[in-house]
Amino acid sequence: MLSRRLDVLGDGPFARIATLLDGIPPNPSKAVLDLSLGEPRHAFPDFVGDILHENRALLGRYPPLRGTPEFRQAAAGWLNRRYALPQDFIDPDRNLVILSGSREGLFLIPQVVVPDPGSHPRAAALIPNPYYPAYAGAAVSAGAEPVFVDADPAQGHMPDFAGLPTETLDRTAICYVCSPANPQGTMAGADYLEVLIRLARKHDFLLAVDECYADIYDSTPPVGALEVCANLGLGLDNLVVFHSLSKRSSVPGLRSGFVAGDARVIDAFVQLRGYAAASVSLPVQAASAALWSDDDHVESARQSYRDKFDLAERELAGKFEFYRPQAAMFLWLRTGDSEAAATALWQNASLKVMPGGYLGNGDKHPGNDYVRLAMVTDMDSTADALQRINSTLS
């Protein structure tokens, strides 16, 4: 009776770490610190709660699937400011639609571009390895074959999609790219993105760029795929980008993001959502519009991450192949066997981290020797966690 499509992927990373640590008590002398989940814990602006309360009566109305005009204008305005886009490059009415968090769009988008699963040859979905689990779940749910492409440290932790065989690229329906990258914290450059954009058009697949960490960076703002298209005088064909307030504004519980890009794909996606009814409530849309219109609160969060990476650099420099991430909110530390390292940190230091082996596919993928730390706690807890890592694993 049950579909077995997801069996090819096995359990997700959080189910796997629960199994790994089941029955292993943490060190009773230390308070438990959980750095396994990328859930921002910084303060968000007070106006969010105020707007939700002021618009509470709108909970009695169905929201529009594309998003309110106010939301779409605010999101498009942020894109224009953030990436210095021409004012008419993104049409809020044709090129942008609200999401119930970026994961909704990342998961559903293959449904509108992957051909019938019975087609021959079977469509491919290109996925960076390590990867965000939604990409792989989306691929197999849509009937595509996930093709995992290693993001090797020697290549700056970015996958070489252009180096794939022509026959693979010819049957590709969608290619996922994450920049800034989760878990490695590296960024795709303009040249890298240009190659992928041109590759998508040559082989007629959708380039889906997950940019949800675009506003969480150390010193240099990450380049965006829309920005590359605009600078090259290219249109939006075969491209969509995903953005989220969860990371930018530290409101993961708001479940609000958007997708922008190729109008053909956006129209098909809205048609799909008409059946899925995955709409965002009007009070949430009102609060989201205010957040996309305000950039000041983001700098505060960005500085908090910088301060925590300063701590990490002082504590871990020269150890675990430490490097300061260019962006995002994670440390990616080479510890050897990631399961053994995660178990030791839990058992001896009451510290929960994500084994990098659980974020990729295959026995020898690049994440197997790493652990991921989400730098989401306060400064004191972060300093404590870093000291526990040093004392336990050094």
CA atoms of 201 and 334, how far apart (whole Å): 37
pLDDT digits (tens, 9 = 90+) for 60-85: 999 999 999 999 999 999 999 999 99
Place of tokens 């994450």: 178
User: How does residue 119 score in pLDDT terms, banded at 50, 70 and 90?
Assistant: confident
CA atoms of 141 and 6, how far apart (whole Å): 7
In this structure, the answer to whether residues 358 and 321 fall within a common structural domain is yes
Last residue of a domain, one of 265, 294, 323: 294
Global pTM value: 0.96
User: How does residue 370 score in pLDDT terms, banded at 50, 70 and 90?
Assistant: very high
CB within 8 Å of 228: residues ≥ 6 apart = 190, 193, 194, 197, 234
H or E element, residue 244: strand 239-244
pLDDT reading at 120 higher than 80: no
pLDDT value, residue 109: 97
The mean pLDDT of 185-201, rounded to a whole number, is: 97
In this structure, the answer to whether residues 11 and 142 fall within a common structural domain is no
Closest residue by Cα to residue 51 from 296, 294, 376? 294
Is residue 53 in a domain?
A: no
CA atoms of 107 and 133, how far apart (whole Å): 10
Last residue of a domain, one of 264, 294, 324: 294
Q: What is the CATH number of the domain that holds 309?
A: 3.90.1150.10
pLDDT digits (tens, 9 = 90+) for 274-312: 998 778 999 999 999 999 999 999 999 999 999 999 999
Structure token pair of residue 181: 């990258």
CA atoms of 375 and 179, how far apart (whole Å): 18
pLDDT digits (tens, 9 = 90+) for 15-66: 999 999 999 999 999 999 999 999 999 999 999 999 999 999 999 999 999 9
Is residue 51 in a domain?
A: no
Is residue 288 in a domain?
A: yes
Radius of gyration of the chain (CA): 21
Last residue of a domain, one of 241, 262, 294: 294
In this structure, the answer to whether residues 276 and 334 fall within a common structural domain is no
Residue range of the domain that includes 97: 61-294
In this structure, the answer to whether residues 199 and 263 fall within a common structural domain is yes
In this structure, the answer to whether residues 309 and 336 fall within a common structural domain is yes
In this structure, the answer to whether residues 334 and 356 fall within a common structural domain is yes
Is residue 49 in a domain?
A: no
pLDDT reading at 364 higher than 90: no
Is residue 56 in a domain?
A: no
The mean pLDDT of 149-163, rounded to a whole number, is: 93
Q: What percent of the chain has pLDDT over 90?
A: 91
Is residue 50 in a domain?
A: no
In angstroms, the Cα distances linking 376 to 40, 107, 302 are 5, 25, 11
In this structure, the answer to whether residues 276 and 154 fall within a common structural domain is yes
